[in-house]
């Protein structure tokens, strides 16, 4: 069953077609990755899904219900959580307090201890957010999403600025969230090592729409994708 259906989404910025007839079906319980060169419209797509931006055309359908153009707080309340590239955590609160506040705000019953284990911060629960290393802040923000018990998580470059070991740990964390908790995940990434390690369906975006979908192996060997993406391995991370 589809959890999220995007059909023909289009968004223009002063004549620039940032998203141009984007369609994708996300099955309930699935893990999917979206890649594509800088500026191809990935973050704008997340803004359309989460209601930060209204599409000029097309539809966003969640659990069979059209939510196109709904305000962000209503969409969030449906159980769609989104992580931005820069962690939005409370620097002056402890790790545990951060999670408790997020859980309370959403009114969901979750085990804070379990989330602390998952995000690998069980032994750092009493550090303040500001004391965490960069990678740990990213994990805490994923924890804040989990505390809201979402059914769909959108991650925009969750490994930006991470070390190789942290990147791998993040891939493990995402797979656990998906497989053990059944949370549907759509992740935008630049890091191909991370994508390969995730081993999930991959969608390559170019100029606002999907160029190709397939497994990592299929995509890696595709001539069009190679020219677009793998031909330029030094793709810089988004600003």
Q: Select from ligand ADP, Mg ion, none the partner in contact with residue 214, using the beta carbon and a kind-dependent cut-off of 5 to 8 Å.
A: none
Q: Which of residues 53-92 bind ligand ADP (CB under 6 A)?
A: none
For ligand ADP, the closer CB: 29 or 72: 72
Q: Which of residues 78-117 bind Mg ion (CB under 5 A)?
A: none
Q: Select from Mg ion, ligand ADP, none the partner in contact with residue 40, using the beta carbon and a kind-dependent cut-off of 5 to 8 Å.
A: ligand ADP
Cα–Cα distance measured from residue 181 to residue 146, given in angstroms and rounded to the nearest whole number: 10
Parallel, antiparallel or unpaired: strands 57-62 and 2-13: antiparallel
DSSP code for 227 = I
Q: Which of 3, 22, 33, 43 binds ligand ADP (CB under 6 A)?
A: 43
Closest CA to 170 of 140, 150, 200: 140
Binding of ligand ADP by 41 (CB under 6 A): yes
DSSP code for 236 = P
Binding of ligand ADP by 232 (CB under 6 A): no
For ligand ADP, the closer CB: 13 or 226: 13
For Mg ion, the closer CB: 99 or 188: 188
Concatenated DSSP letters of 125-185: TTSBGGGS-HHHHHHHHHHHHHHT--SEEEEESTTTT--HHHHHHHHHHHHHHHHHH--EE
Binding of Mg ion by 47 (CB under 5 A): no
Instruction: Please say whether the beta carbons of 84 and 66 come within 8 A.
Output: no
Binding of ligand ADP by 42 (CB under 6 A): yes
Q: Which of 43, 68, 106, 170 binds Mg ion (CB under 5 A)?
A: 43
Cα–Cα distance measured from residue 134 to residue 132, given in angstroms and rounded to the nearest whole number: 6
For Mg ion, the closer CB: 45 or 115: 45
Closest CA to 137 of 98, 81, 164: 98
For ligand ADP, the closer CB: 18 or 102: 18
Binding of ligand ADP by 44 (CB under 6 A): yes
Q: Select from Mg ion, ligand ADP, none the partner in contact with residue 39, using the beta carbon and a kind-dependent cut-off of 5 to 8 Å.
A: ligand ADP
Which residue is listed with tokens 């999220």?
A: 4
Cα–Cα distance measured from residue 208 to residue 165, given in angstroms and rounded to the nearest whole number: 32
Residue range at the interface with ligand ADP (CB under 6 A); choices 13-21, 57-65, 74-82, 137-145: 13-21
For ligand ADP, the closer CB: 137 or 209: 209
Say what angle helices 164-181 and 134-147 make with each other, to 10 degrees: 10
Contacting positions for ligand ADP (CB under 6 A): 13, 16, 18, 36, 38-44, 238
Contacting positions for Mg ion (CB under 5 A): 42-43, 238
């Amino acid at each position: 069953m589809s959890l999220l259906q995007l059909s023909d989404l289009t968004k223009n910025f002063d004549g620039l077609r940032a998203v141009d007839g984007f369609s994708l079906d996300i099955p309930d319980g699935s893990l999917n990755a979206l890649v594509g060169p800088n500026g191809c419209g990935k973050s704008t797509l997340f803004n359309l899904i989460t209601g930060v931006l209204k599409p000029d055309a097309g539809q966003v359908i969640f659990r069979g219900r059209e939510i196109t153009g709904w305000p962000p707080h209503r969409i969030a309340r449906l159980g769609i959580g989104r992580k931005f590239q820069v962690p939005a955590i409370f620097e002056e609160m402890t790790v545990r307090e951060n999670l408790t506040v997020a859980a309370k705000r959403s009114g969901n019953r979750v085990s804070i201890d379990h989330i602390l284990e998952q995000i690998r911060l069980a032994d750092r629960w009493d550090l303040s957010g500001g004391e965490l290393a960069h990678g740990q802040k990213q994990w805490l923000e994923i924890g804040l999403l989990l505390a809201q018990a979402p059914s769909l998580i959108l991650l925009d470059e969750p490994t930006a600025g991470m070390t190789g070991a942290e990147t791998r740990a993040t891939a493990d964390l995402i797979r656990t969230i998906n497989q053990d908790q059944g949370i549907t995940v759509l992740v935008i990434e630049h890091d191909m090592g991370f994508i390969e390690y995730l081993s999930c369906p991959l969608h390559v975006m170019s100029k606002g729409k999907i160029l190709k979908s397939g497994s990592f192996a299929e995509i890696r060997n595709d001539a069009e994708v190679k020219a677009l993406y793998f031909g330029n391995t030094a793709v810089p991370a988004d600003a």
